[in-house]
Structure 1
Amino acid sequence: MSPSPRHFAHRVVGVALIVRLVAITVATFTLVGETMTAPILFSTVALGASGLLGLAYPAVLDFVVRHPLALIVDILVTLAVVATLGVESPFVLATFSTALIVGVLFERRTAVAAAVVLVAGYLLAARVEVLPDRGFMVAVGVPVLYVCLVAIGSVVQTAHEQQASAAREIALARESAASADERARLAREMHDSLGKTLLGIALAADALPMWVERDPAVALVEARGLAGGARQAADEARRLLVRMRVDQPDRPLVEVLASVCQQWQAHHGIPCRFTCAGAVDLSTDARYEILAIIGEALENVARHARASVVDVAVHGGADGAVLLSVQDDGQGFVPQSDGTSPRGHFGLTGMQERAQVAGASVTIRTGVGGGTRVLVQHPARLVRQIADEVA
């Protein structure tokens, strides 16, 4: 994310002040062996103090950034140095930073006016000073450099503002896309589970008055079925809300998984160890489905495994590949050849369906008495190196 315009201005002005101090140091060394006159001492102190104050006291720098007109004092000091020491003095190098700061802090019209003042003041000082031979840098180079540095500062500041604006628009677009994904997931979840249950309840409720009139005994059975369906719908709604609360897109996936493991351990009293290796990042939609798969795997451990410990691991690899595993030391089971749930169960089938939606794959490694390991690979064709490392 790009820094804010004010923070960016702080950084550029800070660099310009450092350059000013370096230029003052260089100019001072060129005068070694000469008499330290009052004008030279005044110029050194005036230019050096402004640089040191801005660097040593951030409040001063922040004041200048928030109130650019305060820079007029620095412009006047610059012109005073040029007028006092002459246009051929090496201290003129230290005044170039003023032009850059003007371009960064002032809006374009004000920056142009300040550039005109700098150039006019310099040319006036050059005209007053009697020089036997005016070189190219004295006559043309320095004024052109003032203008160029003001222009560079202005362009850099404008480019940064455009970049910051583009970053804000991208962030808003991502937020809108995440909201759309969230609505789509909610609709899919309600259609796949809660919607079907509610439809069954509605059909049974429509038929109940008829059975009350024709066969009260059947009506009683249907009424009990309605009550069971209502409980099932309430349970599905609760599980749906829990799954939606698990994922927090503003938090890193690793933090969310660690929190899931801690909460599961606290609820079931079974140690759940979490480890992570490598950088891990997934899209909002993929991480939602994969978190649901991990949650289902942990739920299966709590219901069926009779495990004494569970290990949840995440491995990040090249090209954004991610491998997640949930391994327990429980009693295991005899898996189906196609990887789906045994008869009368639906957990493994749901995992496979969610993995397909996320563009991932699920592999179950288990056996009677040998514990169970659930491997989730995203994308489905994971880099072989990662799988070999955790095998």
Structure 2
Amino acid sequence: MSSDRLSGLPASARIASTFRILMQVRVLVAALALLVIPQNERTDASVYIVTGIGFWSWFAVVGWKHIVPWLIKAPLLVAVDILISYAVLEFAFSGGFGPFFLFTVMTSVLVGLLYHWPGALLICSLQIMLYYVAILDSESSFRTFIGMPAFYLVGGFVGTAFRKVFDDHAALDLARRNAEIAAAAAEERARLAREMHDSLAKTLRGIAMSATALPTWVINSPERAKEEATQIAMAAEIASREARDLISELREEALQRPLAEALPALVGAWAESAGVVVTVTAESGVDLPLPDRHEVVAILKEALENVKRHADALSVDVSLSAGAGNVVLTIRDDGKGLAVNAEVMSELAAAGHYGVIGMHERAARLGAALTVTSEPGQGTVISLIISTSGGTPELREAVETI
């Protein structure tokens, strides 16, 4: 088992943190045991052995990413650690019950944490057996014969209790994530339904109305019928594009990234397809909740599509910034521009061009302010200001009920 496999274990982060803490405690206990070795029993061998045990524990603290998978895969390594520890207890401390005994109890907690109760019970039984071997030549009492070995079972219980708490938390986290995914999927379905209602459905209604009137124009005014047929073909092309956009959004991985990261990729892809020079300035760390991010990206795409189809621009500047409780998106082109007034908007809507209207509706759902500044021959500037403090919820609610 590799360290990557470890990351897939239940509550692996909590287990790893607890493992490191327990090994740090073992290091401290080993150091304390070394200090309290009686002078008449202190030998070079006992000092080296206890120091080595302490360094092994510290090595486990530092290299836990590699050691924990080994221990999980090969419990025999824990048995080796236990045998060495009891050799120290027997020969360096003469079966003593001082601080080094606590060192061995830490091992019980560790095995409970790593192996659950069945594995912990097996290894604690081995510890109890070795403990009795270590005190074989010592005086027996209730404390030494019953009380002290019970600490191994208590330690194992503590370790398994930690593991159960961690696993329960992991199960709750998984349930919460699944609920969040389900909620996000429901929100995405609702968003796509709004997209279809606001863009594709309107375009198709326009096509249907024009097609219904077409036979009358064929009889009464063939020239007008020709114009209407051209408009229907253009509207059908727009409907096809909108349908493709909706399908592509289902596969759009860029939208899963923060807005400041997704923006350059989206604009760069558009610039390559449109053959227009684009400058992108995105302030690092700027982002919005996923539903709002979808709306902002849709407005950006619509603005760029308008540039491609109508502006004859040579360059476009796109900027994203944040400040004063707002996120600001600006799209500026050097194209031919247009007169922005109610009459022009009505003419565009009548011709099946709902782009600017759709951008205003999306901005209203965001509780944002969208301004379009343009003059013939002077290019166009589209500015979207989104309040990060929640915008105007009443406006959002009103728009969503339409």
TM-score normalised per structure 1? 0.73
Do structure 1's residue 326 and structure 2's residue 336 form an aligned pair?
A: no
What corresponds to 2:267 in structure 1?
261
| Counterpart position of 2:232 | 229
* Contact in 1 for aligned 2:327/2:388 (Cα 8 Å): no
Aligned to 1:111: 120
Q: For residue 117 of structure 1, report the CA deviation from its aligned partner.
A: 5.2
3-state secondary structure, aligned to 1:87: coil
In terms of mean alpha carbon deviation, does 189-198 or 120-129 score higher?
120-129
Out of 294, 299, 304, the position equivalent to 2:305 is 299
Please name the residue that 2:369 is paired with.
361
2:285 is matched with which residue: 271, 279, 283? 279
Are residues 1:352 and 2:360 paired?
Answer: yes
Residue 245 (structure 1) aligned with residue 252 (structure 2): no
Residue matched to 1:163: 169
CA deviation vs aligned residue, 1:206-259 (integer Å, no higher than 9, x gap): 898x979xx867799769856753552243222332355254343332222111
Q: Deviations along 1:73-115, whole A, 9 cap, x unmatched?
A: 3334334433332234443343243122112112124424544
* Contact 1:341 1:348 (8 Å CA) reproduced: no
For structure 1, which segment, 297-306 or 32-41, has the greater mean C-alpha deviation from structure 2 after superposition? 32-41
| Structure 1 residues 54-65: aligned runs within 5 Å | 59-65=66-72
2:79 aligns to what?
Answer: 72
> What residue ranges of structure 2 are gaps of 5+ in the alignment?
1-5, 349-353, 392-402
CA distance in 2, matches of 1:106, 1:124: 25
Q: Is the 8 A contact 1:355 1:362 kept in 2?
A: yes
1:185 to 185, 191, 199: 191
Deviates more, 1:323-332 or 1:52-61: 52-61
Counterpart of 2:383? 375
From 1, 5, 13, the equivalent of 2:9 is 5
CA separation of 1:152/1:370 partners in 2, compared to 1, >3 Å: closer, same or farther? farther
Give distance in 2, aligned partners of 1:308 and 1:199.
34
Closer, same or farther in 2 for the Cα pair 1:335/1:32, shift >3 Å? farther
Which stretch of structure 1 is more off in the superposition, 193-202 or 256-265? Answer: 193-202
Residues 1:347 and 1:37: Cα distance change in structure 2 (over 3 Å):
closer
Provide the residue aligned with 1:101 in structure 2: 110
Identity of aligned residues (%): 29
CA contact (8 A) 2:260 2:284 kept: no
Deviation of 1:293 after TM superposition, in Å, equals: 0.8
Q: Give 2:3's aligned residue.
A: none
Matches of 2:173 and 2:276, distance apart in 1: 45
Secondary structure at 1:312 match in 2: strand
Amino acid at match of 1:5: L
Shift of 1:351: 1.0
376 and 146 in structure 1: CA distance in 2 versus 1, 3 angstrom threshold: farther
Contact residue 17 and residue 51 of structure 1 kept, 8 A: yes
Letter in 2 for 1:167: D
The 5 Å alignment of 1:76-91 reads: 76-84=83-91, 85=93, 86-91=95-100
Q: Does residue 1:172 correspond to 2:178, yes or no?
A: yes
Distance 1:328 1:32 in 2: 85
**C-alpha separation in 2, matches of 1:228 and 1:262:** 31
TM-score by length of structure 2 reads 0.72
Going from structure 1 to structure 2, the CA distance change for 1:330 and 1:238 (only over 3 Å counts) comes to closer
Aligned residues: 373
Quick one: structure 1 residues 48 and 128, their matched pair in 2 at CA, closer, same or farther if it must change by over 3 Å? farther
1:177–1:83: structure 2 CA closer, same or farther, 3 Å change rule?
A: same
Distance 1:370 1:25, change over 3 A: farther
Cα offsets for 1:124-166 (capped at 9, x unmatched): 74574249xx9x9x89996676455433322332222223223
Change (3 A) 1:294 1:204: closer
Structure 2 Cα separation of the partners of residues 102 and 311 of structure 1: 61
Question: Aligned-residue CA RMSD in angstroms?
Answer: 4.4
Per mean C-alpha deviation after superposition, the further-off stretch among 259-268 and 326-335 is 326-335
Distance in 2 of aligned mates of 1:156 and 1:126: 30
- Report the secondary structure of 2:43's partner residue: coil
Q: Contact 1:341–1:347 (CA<8 Å) still a contact in 2?
A: no
Residues 321-351 of structure 1 show CA distances to partners (whole Å, capped at 9, x for unaligned) of 5332223455655544x8x963423433211
Q: What letter is aligned with 1:322?
A: V
d(CA) in 1 for partners of 2:154, 2:344: 72
Which amino acid in the other structure matches residue 248 of structure 2? R
Q: 1:200 to 1:323 in 2, by over 3 A?
A: closer
**Pair 1:315 & 2:321 matched:** yes
> Partner of 2:394 in structure 1?
none
Q: Which residue of 1 aligns with 2:399?
A: none
Secondary structure of the corresponding residue to residue 363 of structure 1: strand
